[in-house]
Structures are given as C-alpha cells and as structure tokens.
Amino acid sequence: MTVGANSYGTVLDVAALTNAYLNASNTFDTSTVPTLTQVEGWIDQVSGIMNTALAGQGFTIPVTQATAVLAIKSFVVESVADLAHAANMAGRYFTQSALDRGVTPMSAIRKQILEWVESFASGLESLGAARAGETGGGEVLYRSYDNAGDEITPIFQRKQHGNVFQNWDE
C-alpha cells in the first residue's frame, strides 16, 4: 500500500515527528508500532476527511496551490503523528482526560479539520487554491418553475405582511 494521489504528506514526513517508533533504518515497517501500512492508511484517511471538508467549502480536490498544499500537509502529517503516538499509548489523545471523556483520536481529528477548514478557507482562496464557491448549504434556495414547467407562485406575498419596498434608484 502506498499513499494515495489525493493525499497530503508522506510516511517520511510522519517519521520525522515520530522517530521513537521507527526501526533501526529510521522508517516504519511490518514490525513497528504503528506499521508502515497503518501510517499510509492514516495519511489517506485524514487526507480524505480533509478533502471532504474542503470540498464542502467549494474547493477543487485535490488542492494543488503550493502554499495551500504545505498548510494542509502540515495539518495531516501532525494528525497522523498524533495517531502514531496514540498507538504507542502516548501523546495528546492518550491523556487521562481524553480517555475519561471517551474522545477517540479520529473523532477529535474530524472536529479539528472542520474548524481548520472553516478558519483557513478564505486564506486558501486568497493564495489561489481553486474554489468554485460555497455549496448551496448556506444559501436560500428558490425554484421559479415546477417540474411541469409552470411558474410557481409564492404562498405569501411580502405586501401581505406590510412590507413595502422603496426603490431608492428612482
């Protein structure tokens, strides 16, 4: 198994943050905890969650703008390193507080990704990351015509509620 094409970061990037868990050749393999396959899988999983969150904000996946990729890669690699620490009963996901609250590492990472994407979305777009715009989730949707092609008349008119609009351009 290798890291997928739409993923951010490499096993070597994770290894640089988790050297206590590497073999004598300074890499992950079938005998390390976590194994090479697990680290590759985590990179793909965290990247998949990140891509889903980015797509929800209208970004073209995978993000290819160089600086944006570095920022995303940093988040993914740190998250996978945290998973490696947790696999070794260490790190921020293996604290007594986290264990008592029943917080799983992946649920915490999902929450952090959503927060990260929301706070970085405008910056990623300003850098030039391709973004088609936000999805319809934050907009009021309206249909002018039904499936038969007949015009739809709103149930209530604004004037019924005393709303009278002034055209300030006249």
User: Is the residue at 151 inside a domain?
Assistant: no
User: Is the residue at 146 inside a domain?
Assistant: no
Residue 169 is predicted with a pLDDT of: 78
CA distance 50 to 128: 18
**Which pLDDT tens digit goes with each residue over 101-147?**
888 999 999 999 999 999 999 999 999 999 885 545 555 556 677 77
The answer to whether residues 59 and 130 touch, using CB atoms and an 8 Å cutoff, is yes
Residue 100 is predicted with a pLDDT of: 86
User: Is the residue at 143 inside a domain?
Assistant: no
Number of domains in the chain: 1
Contacts of 103 (CB under 8 A, 6+ apart): 93
User: Is the residue at 112 inside a domain?
Assistant: yes
CA distance 110 to 44: 13
Q: How far is CA 137 from the centre of its chain?
A: 17
User: Is the residue at 125 inside a domain?
Assistant: yes
CA distance 53 to 57: 7
- For residue 94, what are the domain limits? 11-134
User: Is the residue at 83 inside a domain?
Assistant: yes
**pLDDT-flagged residues of the chain (< 50):** 135
Residue 142 is predicted with a pLDDT of: 60
* Residue 131: strand pairing partners: 59
pTM over 0.75: yes
